[in-house]
Each structure stands twice: as structure tokens, then as C-alpha cells.
Amino acid sequence: MKSSVPLLDTITNYIIKRKGKQIRPVFVFLSASICGTVNESTYLAASLIELLHTATLVHDDVVDDSNLRRGFFSLNALWKNKITVLVGDYLLSRGLLLALEKDEFKLLKIVSDAVKEMSEGELLQIEKARKLDIGETVYFEIIRKKTAALIASCCACGASSVNVTEDQIRTMWNFGETVGIAFQIKDDLFDYEKNNTTGKPHGTDIRDQKMTLPLIYLLNHSDFLEKRWIINTVKNHHHDAERVAQLTTKVTEKGGIEYARSKMMEYREKALEILQSFPQNEYRRSMEQLVIFTTERKV
């Protein structure tokens, strides 16, 4: 991470001191341990994933015009958008160069595929948000690309780092993708839970005009007039606290939360089922616990 540019060193030090839970590298290490023995290639894969993830968070804060990240000022709040975008680009390039320097071309391909998917997912969400015509099929396509692809790449990279077959790598990708979808649905639910400790106020997704699974369920189970009121609220009154509160209440009363939870558990069980194809050992048990944690976490 060291650079000859003092400003860049200052910013990367700021990032490192405010690192998150680092769940994604844990997926890399556990996947590698389930399939074989952790080695230097595994550590490189975990580093590559964490650099990529950090780069996407930095860029996301610019896209979302967010001033906070993990309870601290975001980079764009302190150094403005131009510098922040360049820092995100730097982090991404450092990760890619790390793989090239070590001739880890398989890891590079897996991660590059994930970056492509994530970019497509973000653009698809932006495109659909303009018309608010996101149905359940489109919603799952967005989160599969935007969120699940990165967790899938963690698991695929972990497996690839210990030189297993292409089938095993693909199985691990599918496992990570399934967990990633459950992970995102859990994030959607935080917006509606009364006693969440995320620091995220109720209705944030609605104020950001994001169509999440509980809201999509409500739309699918409303009559014409209710649908018009919902869409009008999201489109034109998303900063009206009273309207947003009414909408979140409707989501709960109509069963949107219950439905989203059931879908989350469905994907969780599917992920645990995929793990059954690997030998039982302490690492598989740890991965099973991590899957359960992603759907029961409080932050």
C-alpha cells in the first residue's frame, strides 16, 4: 500500500485504521481450508478481495453521495469526489497488479468477472430505479450481480488457491452467490426492523428510492390505487418522514417483512445444502456458522 505520493499514503492509512469486519477474506480462508490447505496463494487471494471490496466501497460513497462509512467520515466527505474516485481506482489497480506480479491469472479472472458483474448490477439498479419497475426477478438479478458476485468470488478464489478442479471452484462460486443473496436480503430487512443497531434510520432505502424485496412484495399484493400511492411516495415524497413511516408500516402489515425473511432463509438453507457436498471437518462447520451469522447479524 506504500506509495511515493504522500497524500495517497495519508488516505490509505485513514482507510486501514477504519477497516470493517473483513468477512469476505474469512470466506476466502474457509473456502480454501474446506477444499485443501491454506497457502501463500490463499493469502494473496484474500488481499486481492479486500482491496477490491474497499475500492468498491470508496466508489459507492461517491455514487451515493454518502458522508459516512462505518461510523466515520467517508473519503469523499474529507477529500471530495475527484480524489476519492482516483483512490478507488488506485486500490483496484493495486489488487490487480498484486495478482499479476505473482502470476495468479486464475484469481485475476475470477475477480475480474466479479467486477464486471458488480458494475452491471449497479447500472441495472440505476436504470430500473428511474422507472421504479423492478419486479422480483429483476431484484434478484440486481443483488446477484451487485452483492452476491463478490462473495461468490471470495469462495471461488479460496478454492482456486488450493488447486482444486474447475467443478469444485464452480460449486464454491454457487455457494458464495447463494450466501450473498441471503446477505443482501438481510441488509434490506435492517431498514424495517424496529430495534436495529446499524445506525441506519427507518426508511433509508425508500428515501434513496431503492426497491427492496419487502417493498416489491407490497407492490405485488396491492390494488391499483394502493400501488399508485406507493409509487408516488417513493418517487415524489421520499423525503416526507410521515409518508415514509406510513409506507414502512404498510410493508410490515401486508407481510413484506415476513416474506423477505422466508426468502432469506430459503437461500440460507440452499447454501448449507451445497456445503454438504464437501467433507465434514472443522472448517466446514465454521463456514456453516458463518452462513448462519450472515442472516442473524445485528450490523
Q: Quick check: 155 and 176 in contact, CB under 8 A?
A: yes
Phi-psi region of 163 (alpha: psi -120 to 50; beta: other; left: phi over 0): left
Please give the mean pLDDT across all residues of the chain. 88
Q: What distance separates the 2 farthest-apart alpha carbons in the chain?
A: 61
Q: Which long-range contacts (CB under 8 A, 24 or more apart) does 96-102 make?
A: 96/48, 98/44, 98/47, 98/48, 98/51, 99/44, 99/48, 102/41, 102/44
**Mean of pLDDT values over 172-200:** 81
Per-domain residue ranges of the chain: 16-296
Chain mean position to CA 45: 18
66 versus 243: which is more confidently predicted?
243
Q: Quick check: 196 and 237 in contact, CB under 8 A?
A: no
296/299 Cα distance (integer angstroms): 9
Residue 171 confidence (pLDDT): 96
Helices (H) and strands (E) in the chain, counts: 14, 2
From 37, 11, 288, 7, select the one nearest 161 (Cα to Cα): 37
45/153 Cα distance (integer angstroms): 10
pLDDT tens, position by position, 20-59: 778 899 999 999 999 999 999 999 999 999 988 888 888 8
Residue 200 confidence (pLDDT): 42
Residue 197 confidence (pLDDT): 46
Q: Are strands 68-69 and 72-73 parallel, antiparallel or unpaired?
A: antiparallel
- For residue 201, pLDDT over 60 is answered with no
pLDDT tens, position by position, 62-78: 877 777 776 778 888 88
CATH number of 16-296: 1.10.600.10
For residue 72, the SS3 value is: strand
